[in-house]
Amino acid sequence: MSNQSKTVAVLGGGTMGSGIATVMARAGHTTILYDVVEQNLQRGIDTVHGFFDRSVKLGKLDADAGEAAKGRVVGSTDLRDLAPSDVVVEAVFEDLGLKKDLFAQLDEIVSDTTLLHTNTSTLSVTGIASGSRLPERVVGTHYCNPAPLMKLVEVADGRHTGSWAHHATVDFLSGLGKTSVITQDRPGFIVNRFLIPWENSCIAALEAGVATKEGIDAAVLGSIGHPMGPFRLLDIVGMDIHQQVATRLYEQLRDPRFFPPPMVERMVAAGDLGRKTGRGFYDYDDTRLFGS
């Protein structure tokens, strides 16, 4: 697949969807952000625009380039508007039935040569691909969060993924400035297989009073060299998303390290989901997902 400008559709206006849409628009692709709920769609577009506005303000992007990037993003609540897509990236709620149904619908809308990517990290790529009559064009592409800032993408083939689709996907990701890591179609792939238990252990340490959230974040930054501490990262990901991912991995692997600590349930119940709600482990005046 050549790296010339393409039409890319992103399904889902949430944290991952808006982040992936930002990546596509920044790379010069016409980007269609789809969500079935108008309010979610508008929030997603606002997040994309906010990222480019902030990039201009910080001097990372000139004003004309920022406006051009924002102009490449359009929104839709009608799946039929995705017909011209060369690539579709699905980033909706982690529900196998929903994902399969979307791919089945897309079969009747997009070209047979359109690549179908799923951003899942907890569900089987093979299972999702079974919703399509052309499972050979379905590839798992798990973008690390936050997608506009992290270079890594895990690439997982389903049982029937064609070699042409795999190679076209890796080429496409390279054109986005991403680094592909090939992994098997297994729950959690590589990153979440390690990350979720580690995040759970950090939450458990906080809950046990081992240290403050600031202390644990500082320790991680100062010793391991991560670009941000676990609690800042969790506030970007969202506690609801962490709970969903951790629970699904626990259900599949039955490893107690994946089961979310009690604090997670309390925070979700209180609506303290992170940056997107203005409060998580930290408080935020700026609720943009990629703000300072």
What is each CA distance from 34 to 7, 139, 219, in whole angstroms?
A: 13, 19, 39
Cα-only R_g, the chain: 19
Which residues are catalytic, by number? 121, 142, 154, 192
Helix residue spans in the chain (DSSP H) = 15-26, 38-57, 63-71, 96-107, 125-129, 163-175, 191-207, 213-219, 230-237, 239-253, 262-270
Residue 103 and residue 140: Cα distance in Å, rounded? 13
Cα–Cα distances in angstroms (integers) from residue 230 to residues 97, 147, 166, in the given order = 31, 16, 32
Q: DSSP character for 146?
A: S
Q: Which amino acid is at 277?
A: T
In angstroms, the CA 292 to CA 290 distance is 7
Residue 36, phi then psi, degrees to nearest 5: -75, -20
